[in-house]
C-alpha cells in the first residue's frame, strides 16, 4: 500500500561538523571517512557540515561502501554541506529518484525522498559564523579587552537563511528533518566568556527572535 503525504516510518540519523571532511591530504581524508563510517553504523543517514568540498573534490570522491552521497559546495576552507545515505535506507524510497535541491550553495540543501511510506525531506544547514564578543589581545592577558569587529551583515545572512528554511517546509507534503550548525546562541546561558566569567548568549537575541517568529514549534519541533 502506498502512503501519500509525509513519511510515516522509522528513521535514524546523525549530524556532524566534520571540520573539513574533504581534506587535501589523503591520510586525513581517510580518517574523516572512517569516522563517518563509524557514525553511520546502525543509522540510516548522516548530515555533514563544514565539508569544505569543491566541484573538483566531489568528482574525485568515492562513496563509503554501502552508501550514496549528495554535496553542496562552499569553498576549499569554508562551509559546504552534504548528506550520506545508507543504500539499504534509500531502497525504501523507490517511487522516484532522490531530488537534491541546493537552496544556497554550501549553506542550505534539501534531499527529497519518495517511497511507499510517504515523502521524507532531509535538510542540512550551515549558517554563517560570527559573534560579537570581547577579546583580549593575543599573548597579553593583562591588556584591556576590546570589542571584536564583526561584519554586521552576518546576522542578516543568518536570518535570511532561516527564512529560506521556512520557505521549503511543507508539512502537508513531507516530513522534514532539519539538522546542522546554526551558529548563534538561543539562550543567555548558551555561551560563556572565560576571560570575564560571564554568560554572553544574549548577544544573538536578534537571530533567536527571528527564528522563533519564522519557525515556531507549530512549524518545526526541536528534538533533544
Q: In sequence order, what DSSP letters do the residues of 43-92 get, joined into one string?
A: SSEEEEE-----HHHHHH--PPTTEEEEEE--BTTB--EEEEEEHHHHTT
Q: According to the model, what pLDDT value does residue 145 have?
A: 44
Q: Is the pLDDT of residue 71 over 50?
A: yes
Count the Cβ atoms, other than its own, within 10 Å of residue 63: 12
Asked if 182 contacts 125 with a C-beta cutoff of 8 angstroms, the reply is yes
Which of the 8 DSSP states describes residue 148? Answer: P
Give tens-digit pLDDT for 209-224.
Answer: 999 999 988 888 888 6
Q: What is the dihedral of CA 36, 38, 43, 47, to 10 degrees?
A: -10
- Among 4-18, 65-79, 157-171, 187-201, the range scoring the smallest mean pLDDT is 187-201
Q: According to the model, what pLDDT value does residue 74 have?
A: 84
* Of 108 and 25, more confident: 108
> If you average pLDDT over residues 31-55, what whole number do you get?
96
Q: According to the model, what pLDDT value does residue 133 have?
A: 41
Q: According to the model, what pLDDT value does residue 217 have?
A: 84
In the three-class reduction of DSSP (H, G, I as helix; E, B as strand; rest coil), residue 190 is classed as helix
* Of 95 and 153, more confident: 95
Q: Provide the pLDDT confidence category of residue 96 given band limits of 50, 70 and 90.
A: very high
In the chain, what are the domains?
1-129+168-183 (3.60.10.10)
Amino acid at each position: 500500500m502506498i502512503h501519500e503525504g509525509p513519511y510515516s516510518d522509522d528513521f535514524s540519523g546523525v549530524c556532524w561538523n566534520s571540520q573539513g571532511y574533504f581534506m587535501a591530504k589523503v591520510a586525513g581524508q581517510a580518517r574523516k571517512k572512517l569516522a563517518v563510517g563509524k557514525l553511520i553504523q546502525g543509522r540510516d543517514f548522516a548530515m555533514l557540515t563544514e565539508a569544505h568540498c569543491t566541484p573538483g573534490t566531489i568528482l574525485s570522491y568515492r562513496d563509503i561502501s554501502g552508501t550514496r552521497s549528495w554535496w553542496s559546495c562552499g569553498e576549499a576552507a569554508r562551509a559546504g554541506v552534504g548528506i550520506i545515505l545508507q543504500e539499504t535506507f534509500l531502497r525504501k524510497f523507490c517511487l522516484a529518484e532522490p531530488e537534491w535541491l541546493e537552496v544556497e550553495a554550501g549553506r542550505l540543501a534539501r534531499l527529497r525522498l519518495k517511497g511507499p511510506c510517504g515523502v521524507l525531506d532531509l535538510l542540512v544547514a550551515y549558517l554563517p559564523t560570527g559573534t560579537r564578543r570581547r577579546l583580549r589581545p593575543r599573548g597579553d592577558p593583562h591588556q584591556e579587552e576590546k570589542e571584536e569587529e564583526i561584519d554586521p551583515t552576518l546576522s542578516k545572512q543568518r536570518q535570511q537563511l532561516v527564512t529560506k528554511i521556512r520557505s521549503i517546509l511543507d508539512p502537508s507534503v513531507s516530513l522534514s528533518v532539519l539538522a546542522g550548525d546554526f551558529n548563534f546562541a538561543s539562550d543567555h546561558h548558551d555561551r560563556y566568556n572565560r576571560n570575564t566569567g560571564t554568560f554572553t548568549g544574549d548577544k544573538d537575541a536578534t537571530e533567536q527572535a527571528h527564528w522563533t517568529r519564522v519557525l515556531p514549534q507549530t512549524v518545526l519541533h526541536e528534538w533533544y
